[in-house]
């Protein structure tokens, strides 16, 4: 070969880097370098076994290339597993951990030097992967048609010096596999909050006793919030440090005393960024702290509900000026999120109570209308026709008492879709009026209708708006978004979102139907069949044709394609299952 000439082929680039290498080296140079020498031998053994080539190894990082994506990932798993075992008897502060990233693309070799975009992208993916984790790009994911290798989607990332966004997946089921990192753009996981010990330096015993009660009242009140996991983080008396609690948020509180006056503060932090989410401050006479304690608990809990749980809609629910009614609304949503008939019945009862106690306000009527419609859509209603009529009546009542959210109008449009009155449904959507654009349900419902009409791009926009408005997204929103992306032939994005939904709601049939079809479209035949088998196990009597016919998609080409994909995934489709029909 002539000096300077380059050979470029499609390869898998695997990049690994040691977490905190500089600190480890500074703490114990000899031990760290000896450990790294052992890991270098481990890497060489795996590369030889898996037909990989070491492109570069410098100090604390390596770059390897492979021809086979499965071999590349199996090498990464073997190295990670061996390191995990070696770390078992090592103090946490001295553990050496790789994090790895992989990408697929053209890799060139010039005078023995490897180069190409895949190497750069693999390094950027490695940089955002958790310690001990293995991250891969969407291109590698689509090459790994291997059901035994399970991944969780981390969403689309803008990586440094990479012009286009990159879909990133993380390998699950590693030896010490941990839950997905916080910050998921779909916000499906319930937030976890650690309540730290209250600061009471330089206060007398009376104030210290009041402070202890304030903290207990806070914990009690926060623990009553559905969808919030509350941890009581106490000091470790042996070290004077807080334990590792793994919470996404932490609440810091304290009391300052000035003679017979006291100031109480509460600061809510996002642990991932250490930014302040919300701060509160109260002034009180020292002898008034006991009376103030309940107020502090209520105000902090309400702000947490607004910022972390309910989101923007909490603003107009507060107009009810009735804590019991507001709590019923929150509990109703909590039960609806369970995606079960039992939860739906409970939600209907709670929303109905709000409508009965506040007949002149639209919120109970509108939410009840939506819940009745959802019961029909999910097959929970014993008498669908009667449920649709109740839904229509409630939606109109919401409009008559001045619904600023447009929810009632959106429900009426959805009912018209179910009834097959497409032109009227379109007219209702065009006439939709939202005076207070803070109701996530209205946007989510319109997005659902738009995907049936084939207006998938508008559907995605509406669903993104709905998800921005609420602290924790109802799995229905990202599920409908996945369906919309499938309609728009964005199969990789549809599969990614469907997998995220299934992480938190593993029995979500619609998400599984999207995932199986998207995997079939992406050529991931073994994965598609594995998803189809999962569906049959959970829903033994499922008929893909009947399920599709129960969804009012107008574009028959979409339905036929979806049906063919589900049949390819191994799902029965009855007489309507022949893709040549229709």
pLDDT means over runs of 10, the chain (582 residues): 51 88 73 81 92 86 92 92 79 77 90 87 90 91 84 82 84 60 62 90 90 93 88 59 65 92 91 80 93 92 84 80 86 83 95 96 95 92 95 96 92 92 91 87 94 95 92 88 96 90 88 96 93 95 93 94 96 62 40
493, 451, 490, 445: which is closest to 465 by C-alpha? 445
Bridge partners, residue 7, by sequence: 109
Label residue 420 exposed, middle or buried (CB < 10 Å: 0-12, 13-18, 19+): exposed
Superfamily of structural domain 475-582? Tetratricopeptide repeat domain (1.25.40.10)
pTM: 0.78
Q: Please name the residues in contact with 392: beta carbons below 8 A apart, sequence gap of 6 or more.
A: 369, 411, 412, 415
pLDDT digits (tens, 9 = 90+) for 42-93: 999 999 999 999 998 887 789 999 999 999 999 999 988 888 887 777 776 6
What the block records as the tokens of 562 is 């979806």
Q: How far apart are CA 308 and CA 212, in angstroms?
A: 25
Q: Where in the chain is the domain with CATH 3.30.70.1230?
A: 6-171
Q: Where in the chain is the domain with CATH 3.40.50.10610?
A: 192-310
Q: Please name the residues in contact with 152: beta carbons below 8 A apart, sequence gap of 6 or more.
A: 169, 170, 172, 180, 499, 500, 503
pLDDT digits (tens, 9 = 90+) for 181-239: 434 467 777 888 999 989 988 899 999 999 999 999 999 999 988 888 898 876 544 44
Q: What is the CATH number of domain 192-310?
A: 3.40.50.10610
Place of tokens 């994965």: 527
Bridge partners, residue 115, by sequence: 108
What the block records as the tokens of 508 is 């979500």
Using an 8 Å Cβ cutoff, are 501 and 511 in contact?
A: yes
371 φ/ψ angles, rounded to the nearest 5 degrees = -65, -40
What topology is assigned to 6-171 in CATH? Alpha-Beta Plaits (3.30.70)
What number of residues does the chain have?
Answer: 582
The torsion of the CA quartet 461, 467, 468, 473, rounded to 10 degrees, works out to -170
Q: How many CB atoms lie within 10 A of CB 190?
A: 18
Please give the pLDDT value at position 242: 47
Please give the pLDDT value at position 70: 92
22 φ/ψ angles, rounded to the nearest 5 degrees = -60, -40
What the block records as the tokens of 518 is 């998207």
Helices then strands, counting H and E runs in the chain, come out as 22, 13
Q: How far apart are the first and last CA of the chain?
A: 59
Using an 8 Å Cβ cutoff, are 102 and 136 in contact?
A: yes
250, 310, 301, 308: which is closest to 274 by C-alpha? 250
Sign of the CA dihedral running 542, 545, 547, 548: positive
Place of tokens 């994909």: 565
Does domain 316-431 match CATH 1.25.40?
yes
């Amino acid at each position: 070969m002539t000096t300077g000439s380059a050979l470029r082929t499609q390869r898998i680039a695997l990049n690994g880097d040691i977490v905190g290498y500089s600190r480890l080296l500074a703490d114990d140079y000899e031990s760290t370098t000896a450990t790294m020498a052992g890991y270098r031998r481990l890497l060489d053994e795996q590369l030889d076994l898996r037909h990989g080539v070491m492109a570069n190894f410098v100090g604390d990082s390596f770059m390897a290339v492979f021809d086979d994506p499965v071999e590349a990932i199996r090498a990464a798993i073997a190295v990670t597993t061996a390191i995990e075992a070696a770390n078992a008897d090592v103090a946490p502060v001295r553990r050496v951990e790789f994090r790895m990233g992989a990408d697929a693309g053209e890799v060139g070799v010039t005078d023995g030097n490897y180069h190409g975009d895949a190497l750069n992208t693999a390094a950027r993916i490695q940089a955002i992967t958790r310690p001990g984790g293995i991250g891969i790009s969407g291109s590698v994911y689509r090459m790994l048609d291997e059901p035994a290798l399970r991944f969780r989607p981390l969403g689309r990332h803008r990586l440094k010096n990479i012009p286009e966004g990159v879909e990133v997946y993380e390998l699950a089921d590693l030896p010490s596999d941990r839950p997905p990192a916080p910050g998921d753009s779909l916000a499906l996981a319930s937030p976890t909050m650690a309540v730290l010990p209250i600061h009471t330096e330089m206060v007398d015993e009376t104030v210290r006793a009041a402070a202890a009660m304030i903290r207990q009242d806070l914990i009690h009140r926060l623990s009553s919030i559905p969808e919030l996991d509350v941890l009581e983080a106490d000091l470790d008396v042996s070290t004077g440090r807080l334990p590792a609690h793994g919470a996404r948020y932490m609440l810091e509180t304290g009391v300052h005393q000035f003679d017979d006056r006291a100031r109480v503060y509460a600061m809510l932090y996002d642990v991932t960024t250490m930014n302040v989410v919300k701060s509160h401050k109260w002034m009180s006479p020292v002898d008034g702290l006991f009376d103030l304690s309940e107020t502090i608990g209520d105000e902090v809990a309400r702000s947490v509900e607004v910022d972390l749980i309910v989101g923007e809609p909490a603003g107009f629910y507060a107009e009810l000026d009735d804590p019991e009614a507001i709590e019923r609304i929150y509990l109703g949503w909590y039960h609806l999120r369970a995606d079960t008939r039992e939860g739906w019945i409970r939600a209907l009862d709670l929303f109905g109570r709000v409508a009965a106690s506040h007949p002149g306000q639209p919120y109970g009527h509108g939410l009840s209308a939506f819940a009745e419609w959802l019961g029909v859509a999910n097959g929970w209603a014993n008498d669908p026709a009667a449920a649709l009529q109740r839904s229509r009546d409630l939606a109109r009542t919401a409009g008559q008492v001045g619904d600023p959210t447009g929810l009632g109008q959106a429900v009426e449009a959805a009912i018209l879709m179910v009834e097959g009155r497409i032109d009227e449904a379109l007219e209702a959507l065009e006439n939709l009026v939202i005076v207070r654009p803070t109701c996530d349900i209205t946007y989510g419902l319109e997005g659902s209708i738009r995907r049936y009409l084939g207006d998938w791009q508008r559907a995605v926009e509406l669903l993104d708006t709905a998800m921005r408005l609420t602290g924790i997204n109802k799995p229905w929103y990202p599920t409908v978004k996945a369906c919309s992306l499938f309609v728009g032939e964005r199969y990789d994005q549809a599969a990614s979102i469907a997998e995220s939904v299934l992480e938190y709601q593993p029995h979500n049939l619609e998400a599984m139907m999207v995932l199986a079809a998207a995997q079939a479209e992406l050529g991931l035949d073994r994965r598609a069949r594995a998803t189809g088998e999962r569906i049959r196990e959970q829903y033994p009597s499922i008929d893909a044709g009947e399920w599709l016919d129960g969804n009012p998609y107008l574009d028959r080409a979409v339905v036929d394609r979806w049906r063919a994909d589900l049949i390819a995934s191994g799902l029965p489709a009855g007489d309507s299952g022949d893709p040549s029909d229709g």
